[in-house]
Amino acid sequence: MKRNLLSAWMLLLALVGGHATADDSASKYSDATAELADLLQTYYLFPDVGEQYASYLQSRAVQGDYEAPANDAEFAASLTDGLQRVSQDAHLRVSVVSNGATSQRSQRRSPGNVIQNAMWLSDGVAYVAITGLPDSEEAQNAMLHFLEEYEGADALVLDLRFCPGGSLSVMDELFSRLYREPTHLLTMDMRRGAGGVLESSFMNRPTLEQQDAPPGIVRWHHMAQPISDDDPWADTRVFVLSDMTASACEHLTLALKRTGRATIVGGRTRGAGHFGNTQQFGDGQYEVFVPVGRTYDPQTNKGWEGGGIPPHVEVMPEMALDHVIGELGIAAEEVTLPPAPAMPRMQRRESASGGRGYGIGMVPPQSGETHIRVVQVFESSVAQRAGVRAGDRIVSVNGKSVSELEQGELRGLMRQSPLVLEVERGGERLGFELSLD
């Protein structure tokens, strides 16, 4: 019935004002908007919120708000900004598909070398940086190799500070070694019928045990399934470094925290707690990541969407490893520090004006954050010369608080020259003025 109503609305939109026949461009955007409304109404994990998204998109399209965007990228950004105003969801994003075929999200999340910088920090203390959890044989084998090579470690430092997400495969390999007996880690709920291939894959995953659930929901317990009851890794003391940790990497963090298996050190994670899949629309020109489920602590019934996961020990993220070294009582002269992990491409954002850049790699505010995280300052850039550093948190741009800015307005301000930034650093507020002229 809902699909029939949407189809009738699309026909009415085409007839009223004659945009669909008189203006092919307007028809393209209005039809794509209607298709997106249908997708969210049908598949979004919370049906009532899906209805709100659809109603919003329908009203905006009837008003003609999407008829004449400057380009496809602006159209996608406008859709995303509007949906986030209706109800914030860190995963819900609309983007343009390159060449109408290859998913931009898939390009950003290509596996690459996601198990990085494996090494001994000192005698008995193993370290590894994880910059993604792709569902790939390459990544699983890399984790298996790490666990075999460093077996017998007294302590393990998992650096998840630059880990944007992924799937369950790699973390399941890790969980199979860190626990002595089957352990209920977290619970995962999915809107029934919304997951498609994702739901089928969950049904076939041995670490997910299906449970009884209310109507309209499919529920699983995510379990640690040990390969042995006397695995030496089960005695290893575990630390997790957190900061821009997101999505599946937050899943990994909360599972270890909730079961008392690790100490979390660093910053609060980003708060992207809903999982889903990408769907294309608009004749394959656009794609939207549609959240179809949520993961949560079965004891509290709470996930981390919007709020993130607070660490046990909150310190500046760049000081998290130093804190762990101190906690382990290792003398400075006995430590070999790892190089900085290569950041995932999806986390890089560089402000620019007319093709010129300030040289700031940053992550925009996510799910209620009130600052922009600076994760990289490029060598010999305007930002570096001005004194901006990686680890800074931008709280205002040209006198406007980040907490009050919409994404579109923020992007516009970051392209201006001069650019005045107020940042938080080590408990202090500092001001910087940057210019491209």
Of the spans 98-112, 154-168, 378-392, 405-419, which averages the highest pLDDT? 154-168
Sign of the CA dihedral running 210, 213, 216, 221: negative
Q: Check whether 177 has a pLDDT greater than 70.
A: yes
pLDDT at 107: 40
pLDDT at 390: 81
* SS3 state of residue 303: coil
Using CA atoms, how far apart are residues 141 and 45, in angstroms rounded to an integer?
32
Which of 21-30, 125-134, 315-324, 394-403 is predicted least confidently? 21-30
pLDDT at 336: 93
Q: Are 296 and 250 in contact (CB under 8 A)?
A: no
pLDDT at 12: 39
Phi, psi (rounded to 5 degrees) for 129: -100, 130
Using CA atoms, how far apart are residues 236 and 126, in angstroms rounded to an integer?
10
Using CA atoms, how far apart are residues 57 and 61, in angstroms rounded to an integer?
6
What pTM was estimated for this model as a whole? 0.78
**Which residue has tokens 């019934």?**
301
Residue 368 — pLDDT band, cuts 50, 70, 90? Answer: low
pLDDT at 353: 33
* 196-251 pLDDT tens trace: 999 999 999 999 999 999 999 999 999 999 999 999 999 999 999 998 899 999 99
Using CA atoms, how far apart are residues 169 and 173, in angstroms rounded to an integer?
7
Q: Check whether 136 has a pLDDT greater than 60.
A: yes
Listed residue (66, 105, 4) closest to 282, CA to CA: 66
Residue 372 — pLDDT band, cuts 50, 70, 90? Answer: confident
pLDDT at 110: 45
The contacts found for 370-379 with CB under 8 angstroms, 24 or more apart, are 370/395, 370/401, 370/402, 370/403, 371/395, 371/402, 371/424, 372/397, 372/402, 372/410, 373/243, 373/244, 374/423, 375/162, 375/244, 375/343, 375/347, 375/348, 376/343, 376/348, 378/350
**Which residue has tokens 């209607």?**
34
**CA distances, 74 to each of 22, 71, 213 (Å):** 22, 5, 41
pLDDT at 68: 73
Sign of the CA dihedral running 132, 138, 144, 145: negative
Helix axes 2-15, 47-62, angle to 10 degrees: 10
Which of 25-39, 91-105, 136-150, 362-376 is predicted least confidently? 91-105
pLDDT at 63: 78
